[in-house]
Chain A
Amino acid sequence: MAEFSININGEKHNVNVDPSTPLLWVLRDHLKMVGTKYGCGIAQCGACTVHFNGTAVRSCQLPISAAIDNKITTIEGLSEHGDHPVQKAWLEHDVPQCGYCQAGQIMTASALLKQNPNPSDKDIDNAMSGNICRCGTYIRIKAAIKTASDSQL
């Protein structure tokens, strides 16, 4: 066990955990920030996606020891009231079904739009294909990203 100080959603958090602990467990079990989801634990599903200095990465793969001194944003920090353009587009297209993968989808989509405000279909497919949705919401995800990129909301 060791004391770590990490920056999540602009706030400092101190946690006392084993250095091997993946960021995902720190978020879910130690900080009770359960918006970031556990889907596989080995970086194969995308449910645990967070922003790491602005880029989309998988928190299950990131030992806490490697996360210090970096800026981490989770779904809880994406917007205070759920009104980030991606979240609004998600609601309008009724993207979520069971909802479990959607925090990860939204974090990947919002990182994509930050880098590339007007992504093509191909850009969207390439960025989003690492986030598995078993309910099969993919075609709505594409439509919602387009809506969000058009900033109609």
Chain B
Amino acid sequence: MRPFKYTGAQNKDQALQAFTATSHYLGGGTNLVDLMKEDVERPDQLIDINNLDYKKITSNDKGGLTLGAMLSNSETANHPEVRTNYPLLSMAMLSAATAQIRNMASNGGNLLQRTRCPYFFEVSMPCNKREPGSGCGALNGMNALHAIFGYSDSCIATNPSDMCVALAAIGATVEVQQTDGSSRMIVFTDLHRLPGDRPEKDTTLMQGELITAIHLPKPEFSDHYYYLKIRERSSYAFALVSVAAGLQVKSGVITKVGLAMGGVAHIPWKLTKAEGFLAGKKPTSENFKAAAALEMKDAKPFEANTYKVEMGKNAIVRALTQAYEREV
């Protein structure tokens, strides 16, 4: 890989100060280092933030939990409070990658995972995300694994994270440190962006901003939850389609619903229409099917990924059913 300067930061000020336009923060490195080896990412400097003190899970003033950005995915997903109160998040996180990768991967890094689009990874191929202006190889190429929602002519890639799908369903908030020393909050669904004509930008983070924490709202889906991930082998594969479903059911009526899909868009795809449809309704199979149909009718698949529409519908219904029928 290309040589780079390594800077070990002991605190956030050192990290922010060291940042330059061609720097990257180094967390677990599970995505970044691979991409550097593939010559896709080419930072001049890596600022190691593993010693930064964002490794705790604490209670927040909304009655929920706050997850430190530098905590590993394993520690987060296996944390007793996460398992008990946010089992949807835990389930999604544990379905991702492999144990070794989860041991290294940080929460902040997970939110910034880059696409698995093969055109992005192969530097001899066109890719607007990797090399703006070079074209999108997938658009008229192999796109069976690509987006069916929200894509543009510039980019049809999908977001690969499982954790993000669950966070979109749960409705989290992300806290970031800005380079001027102040911090700001980003509603989770505003963190990632659709490709438009700037697919090189995956998120709305500004240069040098550092994710420090993920705030979870008060637990709502600890009884009825399911993360369904459809993939070619039973483990260690990115989703063809995934669905995070959380329900709150009181007296036979759905009082709260969190639904998001993975593998279908450039961002974790929040199923707002289905959520709206289901709120206040009974958790029946008819309603689940209607909600799925309502959401999927706007899908615009390519010939090779038309299957995702049917698969997506079935997945939404199944995830909702499993969530509802879960033994409490």
Contact = CB atoms under 8 A, between A and B. Distances in A.
Q: Are A and B close enough to touch in the complex, i.e. CB under 8 Å? A: yes
Interface of A: 18-20, 22, 41-43, 46, 49, 52, 55-58, 61-63, 65-66, 108, 112, 125-131
A66 B27 CA distance: 10
15 contacts: A20-B3, A42-B34, A42-B37, A52-B103, A55-B74, A56-B100, A65-B6, A65-B48, A66-B48, A108-B100, A112-B99, A127-B99, A129-B98, A129-B234, A129-B235
Contact of B236 (A56, A57, A130): A130
B104 interface: yes
Given A57-B100, A126-B235, A130-B99, A19 B34 contact: no
Nearest to B8: A65
B33 interface: yes
Contact of A46 (B3, B5, B98): B98
A128 B236 CA distance: 10
Contacts, number: 80
Given A65-B8, A66-B29, A127-B99, A57 B1 contact: no
A57 B287 CA distance: 44
Interface of B: 1-6, 8, 26, 29-30, 33-34, 36-38, 46, 48, 50, 74, 94, 97-101, 103-104, 234-236
B268 to A, nearest CB: 23
Contacts of B6: 19-20, 63, 65
Contact of A130 (B4, B33, B98, B234): B98
Contacts of A46: 98, 100
A58 B104 contact: yes
Given A20-B6, A108-B99, A127-B99, A61 B234 contact: no
Contacts of A131: 98
B99 A56 contact: yes
A125 B325 CA distance: 25
B101 A43 contact: yes
Given A61-B30, A61-B34, A63-B46, A129 B236 contact: yes
Contacts of B26: 63, 66
B38 A42 contact: yes
B3 A18 contact: yes
Contacts of A58: 100-101, 104
A63 to B, nearest CB: 7
A126 B99 contact: yes
Given A126-B235, A127-B99, A61 B4 contact: no
B109 to A, nearest CB: 12
B235 A125 contact: yes
B99 A61 contact: no
